[in-house]
């Protein structure tokens, strides 16, 4: 099995696979300070909810590293400022805020220690998060594999693989697990307009591991579902509200709606850190709107006329009524989500 290492913290720098360049080129983006991490998250060098969470945590480590020599007051102010900057670099995936808050709590608990000691504790915490993410994904994969029938054809959207996490992946991790457990599965991967995470990243991971897969334009998915060609749909999540409403890559809602019409099971795979217990429903989820150029241009060349208005939300919200189950590292949660999510 090919091992993808999305990120590595080494010699005081964070190294990220530059996902903007895949599959043409496997190159590494070096972050020397937290501003580089902010840029990497905003520009989608690194993307996927769990991956930006852990990258964000290392961003806080880099911020601490850069101001060890300051007074305690200066150091603590800089930590606040960097947490704000990193936490706001993308608004929808709650994992980013979750990771930043966890790092802020470490600063708070250790604020009477030296700056160097705080830095070391932060580095250790980010390292723990990195390890936890991989273990969490393996557990999601094991639970998820239970709902994959032998010979199943699985539809997935966006990239939820090793690249979207520290390793292995969530929805794509389940697909990996099913494949390696010997089931003869087949995958349909949506290309995922406009950033094409499916065509560029999911297809790359599937081809690398020789998992039988077919790439389709997003608009083909409803036809396959209607024609009985899909046994199960599994996607990831960027934020899950307390009632189970789930924000994920734009196009997910459409899939869930067609799946409901044709009685095809529709699962979300996500770590518990993606659940936002602070909000009651999907209406409270902030949906990121991205640059118009993602729609008007292809590879830097304009394809739409000057002057056209563009609406480019990066995510949509799938209502909990459309979700068959939420596969987490602690097991599969089913409706009623507002009750059952509380007990995980
Ligand atoms: O804009 P992206 O590429 O960061 O969006 C990614 C997704 O929507 C994924 O489905 C989600 O983050 C889960 S990744 C395990």
19/26 Cα distance (integer angstroms): 8
| Ligand 1 contact via 198 beta carbon (within 6 Å) | no
13/9 Cα distance (integer angstroms): 6
Question: CATH topology for 7-138?
Answer: 1.20.120
DSSP state of 241: E
Please report the pLDDT score of residue 94 as a whole number: 97
Q: Evaluate if residue 248 carries a pLDDT over 60.
A: yes
Please report the pLDDT score of residue 262 as a whole number: 98
| Mutation probe of ligand 1 site: the residue of 163, 193, 197 with most atoms within 8 A of C-beta | 197
Please report the pLDDT score of residue 31 as a whole number: 98
| Ligand 1 contact via 162 beta carbon (within 6 Å) | no
| Strand segments (E) across the chain | 7-10, 13-17, 28-31, 153-156, 186-190, 213-216, 232-235, 239-241, 246-249, 266-269, 275-276, 297-298, 301-302, 315-318, 325-328, 331-333
- How do residues 182-229 score in pLDDT, each as one tens digit? 999 999 999 999 999 999 999 999 999 999 999 999 999 999 999 999
Range(s) within the chain of domains with CATH label 3.40.50.10470: 139-343
333/242 Cα distance (integer angstroms): 12
Region 253-259 average pLDDT = 98
Q: Evaluate if residue 3 carries a pLDDT over 70.
A: no
149/233 Cα distance (integer angstroms): 12
pLDDT confidence bin for 5, thresholds 50/70/90: confident
Question: CATH topology for 139-343?
Answer: Rossmann fold (3.40.50)
pLDDT confidence bin for 2, thresholds 50/70/90: low
Please report the pLDDT score of residue 231 as a whole number: 98
pLDDT confidence bin for 247, thresholds 50/70/90: very high
53/48 Cα distance (integer angstroms): 9
Nearest atom in ligand 1 to the alpha carbon of residue 197 is: 3
Q: Which residue has the higher pLDDT, 1 or 170?
A: 170
CA of 149 to the centre of ligand 1 (A): 25
Which pairs with CB-CB distance under 8 Å and at least 24 residues apart come from 35-41? 35/85, 36/62, 37/62, 37/86, 37/89, 38/85, 38/86, 38/89, 40/16, 41/86, 41/89, 41/90, 41/96
Say if residue 23 is preceded by a cis peptide, omega within 30 of 0: yes
Q: Which of 195, 236, 198 is nearest to 43 (CA)?
A: 195
Range(s) within the chain of domains with CATH label 1.20.120.420: 7-138
| Ligand 1 contact via 175 beta carbon (within 6 Å) | no
**Which percentage of the chain shows pLDDT scores above 70?**
99
Q: Is 238 a catalytic residue?
A: yes
């Amino acid at each position: 099995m090919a091992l993808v290492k999305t990120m590595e913290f080494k010699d005081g720098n964070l190294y990220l696979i530059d996902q903007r360049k895949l599959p043409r080129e496997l190159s590494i983006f070096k972050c020397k300070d937290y501003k580089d991490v902010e840029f990497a998250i905003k520009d989608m060098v690194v993307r996927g909810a769990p991956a930006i969470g852990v990258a964000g945590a290392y961003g806080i480590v880099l911020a601490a590293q850069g101001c060890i020599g300051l007074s305690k007051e200066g150091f603590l102010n800089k930590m606040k400022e960097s947490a704000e900057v990193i936490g706001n670099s993308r608004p929808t995936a709650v994992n980013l805020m979750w990771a930043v808050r966890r790092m802020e709590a470490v600063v708070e608990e250790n604020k009477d220690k030296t700056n160097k000691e705080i830095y070391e504790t932060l580095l250790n915490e980010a390292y723990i998060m990195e390890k936890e993410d991989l273990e969490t994904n393996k557990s999601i994969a094991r639970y998820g594999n239970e709902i994959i029938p032998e010979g199943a054809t699985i539809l997935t959207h966006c990239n939820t693989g090793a690249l979207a996490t520290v390793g292995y992946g969530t929805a794509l991790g389940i697909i990996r697990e099913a494949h390696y457990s010997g089931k003869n599965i087949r995958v349909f991967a949506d290309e995922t307009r406009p950033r094409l995470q499916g065509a560029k990243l999911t297809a790359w991971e599937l081809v690398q591991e020789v998992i039988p897969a077919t790439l389709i334009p997003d608009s083909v998915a409803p036809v396959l579902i209607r024609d009985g060609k899909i046994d199960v749909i599994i996607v990831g999540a960027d934020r899950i509200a307390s009632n189970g409403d789930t924000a994920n890559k734009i196009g997910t809602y459409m899939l869930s709606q067609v799946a409901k019409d044709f009685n095809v099971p529709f699962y979300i795979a996500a770590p518990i850190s993606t659940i936002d217990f602070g909000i009651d429903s999907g209406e409270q989820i902030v949906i990121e709107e991205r640059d118009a150029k993602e729609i008007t241009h292809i590879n830097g060349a304009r394809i739409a006329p000057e002057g056209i208005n563009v609406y480019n939300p990066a995510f949509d919200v799938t209502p909990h009524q459309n979700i068959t189950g939420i596969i987490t590292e602690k097991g599969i949660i089913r409706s009623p989500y507002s009750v059952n999510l509380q007990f995980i």
